[in-house]
Structure 1
């Protein structure tokens, strides 16, 4: 059996893990299988990620509008500077030309451009153009900043909803999902991957939008100035796209492998840290360190490849852009000499060339971020798409919900069949009746199906055939919350959160009064040791309850169940971690706790269930004997053999 990793705070669901399926796809002592090995395609995953911003459509539209205006202003800036350059150039030529020189006797490059012989530079007009350029660029910068501010809120709210969806999804997943999934791998998806998505969206969304719009606006301006020069500049685009596509195709797989390897490493670290004491006891430190080194080296290799390959995009784009710049400069100089364009227009065009290649380079430089973020999104979507519990929390789904009548606690199994693996039957055609107020003990060898039986009562798993009735109502027609509200459970593996002892006792009933908490503590003998603690009931329990003994932690879980006053009680080896004297006290406490309620008690120490009203002996998922302690001993069958094995010393054959 395994307990869930304790979490800080009181918002985590109080779910205590029960016996993993025998022979199922559970985890080994130092590793485990992965969930969702196959990666999605980049395109569908990216579109799905962007689609999660749909609730922010209005603000997203505002961001687009702000970016459009900002890009338009930025795109006309070079053209305005070109006009200022032409004024300076014409004034420079005019100041060196004799007054009255005809236009056709001027240099061919400036003919027809308004050069006034004998007149110098009009610095007043130049200053006006420069002030206009300054105002345009200032307005564009303010709008760009405002767009980034609004987009930041859009992204963070989107990620917050995603975290909420993942949290809700976790509580809708069946117990079998967690049996198959290493905890560190699951935590990596919930924390590392979502944080990576947040960082990717924050750093790329605004730049991508601005870059794409800049390319369109600048291309329009370049065609306006000179279609020939625009054609020369555009020739570099297909070359850049081919190079970028080839690099991204190779790096995408490496980024997916990087985050999967991160999940494996986290799973190993969480498992090794949780079992730190056992690792030390059995001398497996070297093996744990060796496994960590293997995962760490694997993460280094795939991370290095991913970053190196994606890092080739930027220098490749810069090289292509510089070649394009040289070609434009040469062709532009030839066009100036022929008088086809002005010096200011070529200057503006050179700036546009930079503005044209820079967005492409920016998009290319973000390729690693995009691929890493989408790879993380794939892993989160795999979790969100996992099969949920059937009829999970659907009030009255499939039948009629319970009435408001008090629960009597009668539990009936009618021809129930269940298996974790369809190829390996476990429970077949099982029927039993637990009457209200009865204590039903379940005994048998390990793997016989004892814990599976209570798993089915709690609907941690749904039956394959037959049905389970609570007071005559099929439990499959009840919501899981409605069913579990009637049940109290105490397991062999305790679960305490970091909080006060009072809070831990009141976890299942947060509205309990102080007197009710103290009454539960006194009834379960918690009160006996609490007064020896520094702050009494206000003593803070450390993570994992490390500042309490195993027996004291178990007493707290029993007090928690006592306080909820359930109609149905499940005790799974609840006294196995306490000493003999405390066990005797607990038996008295649990006898009072079981009064007027149906109890299922799983026990290996048969001395603890002598007074049970009904004892079920299970082997291989079937009930092979049932009766009272006395009647089963008289029958001298499987129960008698188990009983004698615990109280008779082994003898040599």
Structure 2
């Protein structure tokens, strides 16, 4: 169990061994909704692909001598019914995914907030406020967008590939030649696209946090900036960060512009059309079957086109989850010590050879000791004056008593008990 200054009684145990597992553990809490979304996506794409089959049958019907209008009406009504089923299943899919996306965004933000509450003052003193705010807002929001529309579109795209392939195979197995080659090339090109996009997405999120942090520090310390005539320095620093963020954005755009799957789809669609016409000319297919076949191959355009930004949303979501997890998994130096001493405090405070420095915990060579070999005793009810110049450690001394910080060496005792052995809640109450 990790150390925390604050802990919820019924905190949900998420898997924090990696960003992907962490996201899956959040998703597992609402497992019924992803399953409903998957089922709805299958029905949705089955309905859409079936419409292409009925359109082909309609062409066969009207090219048959003496065809009956009633038969065409039945086909039209069937298409309307299937289209209605497609619309309803689409609504169910969208609702399920949106519900999960909103819940995961809420849960992730709560988890991050509770984690920040449990961190020590030393941890917060080392953080850049702008970066923390970027993680608590933009990175959490990227999780929402990763699911809706990101993963929703990827799931729908996968079904938009599987269902047409099955229906084409039912017509004729040899019709899978061009779509099969397309699927292989699509897998290769999408994998290469994601491989090039992933480091840029991660860098984009990191640079956004750094830019926010620098701006927040400059604004919060504007009096110091002006007093030291550092306006131009801060301006150049911010424009440098913004320029680097822009460069990442441009690199992302260049990668997205070189999106080869659409070219692969166009060639595969043309090849399918040629293959279908050759079979029709040879008498192996009817005109309606050729039209249905081309319509089914045309449904592959959606998963091809949508991959250009759906995978980017997933990459951004994983990058955001990785940054959030870095904050959540950072160990704090203090623990609430639930099993520690918990009783009424009389008020005796003893410092025994206490040493403390803000940078000593990081083992820095230039670390400055704020308090060195401090010894004194304050009896219950006794008043002691602590006098010193600014920065001498007066406030720091009081923060060692309630364990906002821990002494590097020596002991601080309250009523004869080392503050490390007190329950943190009892000590600070």
TM-score range, shorter chain: 0.7 to 0.9
The one of 325, 339, 346 equivalent to 2:290 is 346
Query: Could you tell me which residue of structure 2 aligns to residue 402 of structure 1?
Result: 342
1:379 to 2:318 alignment: no
Query: More displaced, 427-436 or 407-416?
Result: 427-436
Offset at 1:348? Answer: 1.3
Query: Could you tell me which residue of structure 2 aligns to residue 327 of structure 1?
Result: 271
Residues 278 and 465 of structure 1, relative CA distance in 2, 3 Å threshold: closer
The one of 360, 367, 372 equivalent to 1:421 is 360
Query: Could you tell me which residue of structure 1 aligns to residue 29 of structure 2?
Result: 55
Q: Which has the higher contact order (CA 8 A, sep 6+)?
A: 2
CA distance in 1 between partners of 2:224 and 2:388 (Å):
27
CA distance in 2 between partners of 1:226 and 1:55 (Å):
43
CA distance in 2 between partners of 1:70 and 1:128 (Å):
21
Query: What CA RMSD, in Å, does the superposition of the two structures yield over aligned residues?
Result: 2.4
* Structure (1/2) with the larger helix percentage: 2
CA distance in 1 between partners of 2:21 and 2:184 (Å):
23
- TM-score for the superposition, normalised by structure 1: 0.59
The one of 434, 437, 454 equivalent to 2:398 is 454
Residues 394 and 158 of structure 1, relative CA distance in 2, 3 Å threshold: farther
Offset at 1:444? Answer: 4.6
**Residue 104 of structure 2 contacts residue 143 of structure 2 at CA under 8 Å; is this kept in 1?**
no
CA distance in 2 between partners of 1:47 and 1:408 (Å):
48
Deviations 1:590-610 (A, max 9, x none): xxxxxxxxxxxxxxxxxxxxx
CA distance in 2 between partners of 1:348 and 1:482 (Å):
75
User: Aligned with 1:433: secondary structure?
Assistant: strand
**Residue 150 of structure 2 contacts residue 311 of structure 2 at CA under 8 Å; is this kept in 1?**
no
Deviations 1:303-327 (A, max 9, x none): 11113213432xx222111100110
CA distance in 1 between partners of 2:309 and 2:324 (Å):
24
Query: Could you tell me which residue of structure 1 aligns to residue 378 of structure 2?
Result: 434
User: Aligned with 1:235: secondary structure?
Assistant: helix
Offset at 1:133? Answer: 1.3
Offset at 1:82? Answer: 1.9
**Residue 354 of structure 2 contacts residue 372 of structure 2 at CA under 8 Å; is this kept in 1?**
yes
Offset at 1:394? Answer: 4.1
1:168 to 2:114 alignment: yes
**Residue 265 of structure 2 contacts residue 304 of structure 2 at CA under 8 Å; is this kept in 1?**
no
User: Aligned with 2:300: secondary structure?
Assistant: helix
The one of 170, 183, 194 equivalent to 2:140 is 194
CA distance in 1 between partners of 2:142 and 2:178 (Å):
39
**Residue 194 of structure 1 contacts residue 376 of structure 1 at CA under 8 Å; is this kept in 2?**
yes
**Residue 53 of structure 1 contacts residue 158 of structure 1 at CA under 8 Å; is this kept in 2?**
yes
Deviations 1:218-265 (A, max 9, x none): 111111112112122110122222222223222221121112111121
User: Aligned with 2:385: secondary structure?
Assistant: strand
Deviations 1:30-83 (A, max 9, x none): xxxxxxxxxxxxx95344324312211123322222222223222322222222
CA distance in 2 between partners of 1:284 and 1:465 (Å):
38
User: Aligned with 1:324: secondary structure?
Assistant: helix
CA distance in 2 between partners of 1:121 and 1:473 (Å):
98
The one of 118, 127, 141 equivalent to 1:181 is 127
User: Aligned with 1:390: secondary structure?
Assistant: coil
Residues 341 and 394 of structure 1, relative CA distance in 2, 3 Å threshold: farther
CA distance in 2 between partners of 1:168 and 1:414 (Å):
34
User: Aligned with 2:347: secondary structure?
Assistant: coil
User: Aligned with 2:30: secondary structure?
Assistant: helix
1:123 to 2:69 alignment: yes
1:87 to 2:61 alignment: yes
The one of 66, 72, 77 equivalent to 2:51 is 77
Deviations 1:527-581 (A, max 9, x none): xxxxxxxxxxxxxxxxxxxxxxxxxxxxxxxxxxxxxxxxxxxxxxxxxxxxxxx
User: Aligned with 1:439: secondary structure?
Assistant: coil
CA distance in 1 between partners of 2:22 and 2:392 (Å):
45
1:137 to 2:75 alignment: no
The one of 327, 332, 350 equivalent to 1:412 is 350
Q: For residues 12-31 of structure 1, what are the structure 2 equivalents within 5 Å?
A: none
Query: Could you tell me which residue of structure 1 aligns to residue 3 of structure 2?
Result: none
**Residue 307 of structure 1 contacts residue 368 of structure 1 at CA under 8 Å; is this kept in 2?**
no
**Residue 155 of structure 1 contacts residue 201 of structure 1 at CA under 8 Å; is this kept in 2?**
yes
**Residue 219 of structure 1 contacts residue 356 of structure 1 at CA under 8 Å; is this kept in 2?**
no
**Residue 101 of structure 2 contacts residue 145 of structure 2 at CA under 8 Å; is this kept in 1?**
no
The one of 174, 193, 198 equivalent to 1:228 is 174
User: Aligned with 2:72: secondary structure?
Assistant: helix
The one of 393, 400, 412 equivalent to 1:468 is 412
Query: Could you tell me which residue of structure 1 aligns to residue 302 of structure 2?
Result: 358
CA distance in 2 between partners of 1:48 and 1:275 (Å):
36
Q: For residues 624-643 of structure 1, what are the structure 2 equivalents within 5 Å?
A: none
CA distance in 1 between partners of 2:50 and 2:297 (Å):
13
Query: Could you tell me which residue of structure 2 aligns to residue 219 of structure 1?
Result: 165
CA distance in 2 between partners of 1:240 and 1:339 (Å):
31
Residues 45 and 351 of structure 1, relative CA distance in 2, 3 Å threshold: farther
CA distance in 2 between partners of 1:389 and 1:68 (Å):
50
Offset at 1:414? Answer: 4.0
Deviations 1:144-177 (A, max 9, x none): 1122123212211111111111111111112222
Offset at 1:458? Answer: 2.2
Offset at 1:445? Answer: 5.8
Query: Could you tell me which residue of structure 2 aligns to residue 281 of structure 1?
Result: 227
- TM-score for the superposition, normalised by structure 2: 0.87
Query: Could you tell me which residue of structure 2 aligns to residue 203 of structure 1?
Result: 149
User: Aligned with 2:351: secondary structure?
Assistant: strand
CA distance in 1 between partners of 2:291 and 2:386 (Å):
89
Offset at 1:390? Answer: 3.4
Offset at 1:337? Answer: 1.4
**Residue 73 of structure 1 contacts residue 137 of structure 1 at CA under 8 Å; is this kept in 2?**
yes
CA distance in 2 between partners of 1:325 and 1:217 (Å):
17
